[in-house]
Amino acid sequence: MRKYYLDNIRWMTIVIVVIYHVLYMYNGEGILGGLGKISDLEVQYYDAFQYMVYPWFMPVLFLVAGISSSLYLERHSGKDYLKSRTLKLLVPSTLGLFAFQFMQGYISISLGNGFAGLKEAGVPQIAIFFIMVASGSGVLWFCHLLWFYSVLLLLIRRIEKGRLQKLGAKTPLWLIALFFFPVWGAGQLFNMPIVSVYRCGLYLVFFFLGYYVFSCEEVMERLKKYAAVLIFIALVLCIVFTVRFFGGNYADRPINRGALYAACAYFGSLAVLAGMARYGDFSNAFTGWMSRNSFGLYVFHYLGISSVALFIAKPKLVPVPLCYLLSLLAGFAFGFGLYAVISRIPVYRWLVLGIRKKGKKDV
């Protein structure tokens, strides 16, 4: 029986990511966005949305990915799993950079006038090209880490032979609460310098908690009973985090290494998981369509947002509120539109989206 709440978590979280990236693009508080502040406001209080959602929206996607991996491996072999993950994750985030995502690299570098700086520094044209291609990875960092975790999962499964998942099914609520501490500890490990989104230790813990603990029906049945409590706790934590750190760089140290950040990440993810399991386990025509197209929205939305920033907002062609609105609309239009077109082009869809055949769904 399909767990519709997992599908709904995915597409709803990706919608939040789109909104986040619109605000991030023109962020005026704490961290430089793609273009930076374009308003004349002394303080952009609406940027608080970023602080409210940033700690948990990617952790919950890794948590769901771990649960989905467990469900997939119940019906498929490890070989099929690796093949599916490589096609869906590794191909688009490597070969896809040369086939399509280099355009995102061009936009991102142009926003900061980076090409002029590279030429002044005497960087060869071929090197500039590869820098542009690498810069096009953008949101595909998620695919890089998820593919690596998937390979690691297969290695661990060969060693533990299912014993850990049986233990995970017995996890009591008090121990679930204590998992906060390994989450906090993992947040201190394997963080990439400069590219702060590669928090390898933190996201690894969420992925494996999803696989070994929250994929178990017994655990989710216990967790669902406390959905309202978890939602309240998560809201309080995220509000406190926002008030405490508003104006600071929430995406880098020391803020993103702190206990409060880890608490927002963990309990925020639990709140989404338990809340959707209890209240969002349903499907209709709209949620089904969003689920089928959410991967395309994730892959292409930032190109739409950044294109508006470069070609409309940067030269100040329209008023500031309209820049925000056009960026939001472009995020959805590029996300759904490019997915609809590219998913229908043989070979090219394999390179860019990891789709072998139109309509074939991989994990």
Can you give the pLDDT at residue 187?
A: 95
How many whole angstroms separate alpha carbon 217 and alpha carbon 66? 14
Q: What is the pLDDT of residue 195?
A: 83
- Per the domain annotation, does 22 fall within a domain? yes
- Are 99 and 348 contacting, i.e. CB atoms less than 8 angstroms apart? yes
* 191 three-class SS: strand
Q: Examine residue 68 and state whether it is found in any structural domain, yes or no.
A: yes
Instruction: Please give the pLDDT value at position 358.
Output: 55
Question: Three-class SS of residue 246?
Answer: coil
**Is 265 within a domain?**
yes
SS3 134: helix
Q: Prior bond to 346 cis, omega within 30?
A: no
Q: How high is the pLDDT of residue 357?
A: 74
Residue 132 lies in a domain: yes
Give the residue numbers spanning the domain of 136. Answer: 4-353
Residue 57 and residue 198 in contact, taking contact as beta carbons nearer than 8 Å:
no
What are the Cα distances from residue 326, in Å, to 57, 167, 293? 23, 50, 21
CA distance 215 to 5: 12
Give domain status of residue 358, yes or no.
Answer: no
Rounded alpha-carbon distances, angstroms, from residue 213 to 209, 235, 284: 5, 23, 28
- Whether residue 361 is contained in a domain is answered as no
The total domain count for the chain is 1
236 strand-pairing partners: none
Within-domain flag for 252: yes
Kindly give the confidence (pLDDT) of every residue in the chain, 363 residues in length, as a single tens digit, with 9 standing for 90 and above: 789 999 999 999 999 999 999 999 999 887 887 899 999 999 999 999 999 999 999 999 999 999 999 999 999 999 999 999 999 999 999 999 999 999 999 999 999 889 988 888 899 999 999 999 999 999 999 999 999 999 999 999 999 998 999 999 999 999 999 999 999 999 999 998 878 889 999 999 999 999 999 999 999 999 999 999 999 999 999 999 999 999 999 999 999 999 999 999 999 999 999 999 999 999 999 999 999 999 999 999 999 999 999 999 999 999 999 999 999 999 999 999 999 999 999 999 999 999 987 555 545
